[in-house]
Amino acid sequence: MLEPVRFQNIKSAEGCRYDAVALGEVMLRLDPRDVPVARMRDAVRVFQGGGETNVACGLAYTFGLRAAVLTALVDDEIGANIRNQLREAGVDTSRILWWSTKAGGGRRSTDQKGTLHNGINFTYNGAGVLESRTLYYRAHTPATLLAPGDFDWDALFATEGVRVFSTGGIFTLIGERTAELALEAARKATEHGVFVAADLNYRSKVEPDREKARAANRRLAPWIGFLVGNDSDLSDALGFETRVAASAPFEEWLTAYQETIRAVAEAFPALSLIGTQWREATNADQVGWGAVLYDVRAERWHVAPLRRGVPIRDRTGGGDSFASGVLAALLQGRDLDTAVAWGAAHGILVQETPGDISMVGQSQVEAEARRAASGGGVKASR
């Protein structure tokens, strides 16, 4: 079996069409602002977002890298809305597989009754002690029908050239064969020298059977270079328990998490990097925020400055933005201390802006990383 590419051996940009491609589902997100979903009437904001595709958006918009999404949408006005938002983020949408509503009888054909529909979620951000809640409508989306053979990996990875391939644990569980497709992609990426990243990102609303999630992720893990997973994800999606209280402070959590990561690295020795963000939810409006990155071969930890008591506006997308911050640093040839600092900074910045993706620039990420490192405050720009 081939070993996955290590982060030190990511291909150079020359000769590659894409810095990164992300395989996953993208949905239309309806945000009722400060009104719970059951009471929303008007002034609803519309975003696009998906656990895997958010990574591509962050790499393209914030860091100016060449990123594409690999997903499927129904060819209707909702699909066009999602596509247009992805384009706004600077993502290449030419790889989207479209399901026609002309009922032509082919495999990628549906009707105009919503028998197959684009995914929609309603996300209320929460306030104070009122928790954030997300309601999904994703049972009959075209992304759930994706399967091996839907993408020409040889043409993409070898002929056109890709530096990083990214996917995640949500996508592996949404359809009957999506886990097979993610595995096919990771194997092909490895075959063609592409660095593979995956965020476990377990959601019980997608698949309540944790054993099914663990089976899928244990097959995928040997092909991953960069694994993203917090302590609950590692338990739910891989079966590794972190023995620490949910309310434990960062320092206590980190000691327990490090023990877990060593066990993960022992079980999957081909992994190159393992990391995650850490969130302490004081309430829906304020968090503590940290991030760690483990270099498996060097057995070395890289820890971002801890942020305490940070007011936020929208907690969605923190983990995805952490992943894209780390990958952006690696793609730009930065060291791991910079990578974890960018991951932490981008992860907190997305929570300061509405929507799944941050829409900030790299200079703002770097400024936030410097601010956190120095312990400084936030200045007004005039």
- Alpha-carbon torsion 89, 336, 187, 260, what sign? negative
- Alpha-carbon torsion 139, 215, 347, 161, what sign? negative
Q: For the segment 144-200, what is each residue's pLDDT rounded down to a tens digit?
A: 999 999 999 999 999 999 999 999 999 999 999 999 999 999 999 999 999 999 999
Q: For the segment 136-154, what is each residue's pLDDT rounded down to a tens digit?
A: 999 999 999 999 999 999 9
The C-alpha atoms of residue 12 and residue 138 are separated, in whole angstroms, by: 37
Alpha helices (H) along the chain = 53-57, 77-88, 153, 169-174, 178-191, 210-220, 231-233, 250-267, 318-331, 336-350, 362-374
Please say if the pLDDT value at position 381 is more than 70: no
Q: What's the rounded mean pLDDT across residues 95-104?
A: 92
| DSSP state letters, 294-342 | EETTTTEEEEPPPEEEEE-S--TTHHHHHHHHHHHHHHTT--HHHHHHH
pTM: 0.96
Structure tokens at 188: 């092909």
The C-alpha atoms of residue 253 and residue 319 are separated, in whole angstroms, by: 17
| DSSP state letters, 104-147 | -SSTTB--SSSSS---EEEEE--BTTB--EEEEE-TT-GGGG--
The C-alpha atoms of residue 117 and residue 375 are separated, in whole angstroms, by: 47
Structure tokens at 78: 């909702």
What are the extents of the domains in the chain? 7-374
Strands 97-99 and 273-283: unpaired
Q: What's the rounded mean pLDDT across residues 203-229?
A: 95
- Options 3.20.20.10, 2.60.120.380, 3.40.1190.20, 3.30.70.270; which CATH number does 7-374 get? 3.40.1190.20
The C-alpha atoms of residue 27 and residue 186 are separated, in whole angstroms, by: 23
pLDDT band with cut points at 50, 70 and 90 for residue 382: very low
pLDDT band with cut points at 50, 70 and 90 for residue 378: low
DSSP code at position 379 = P
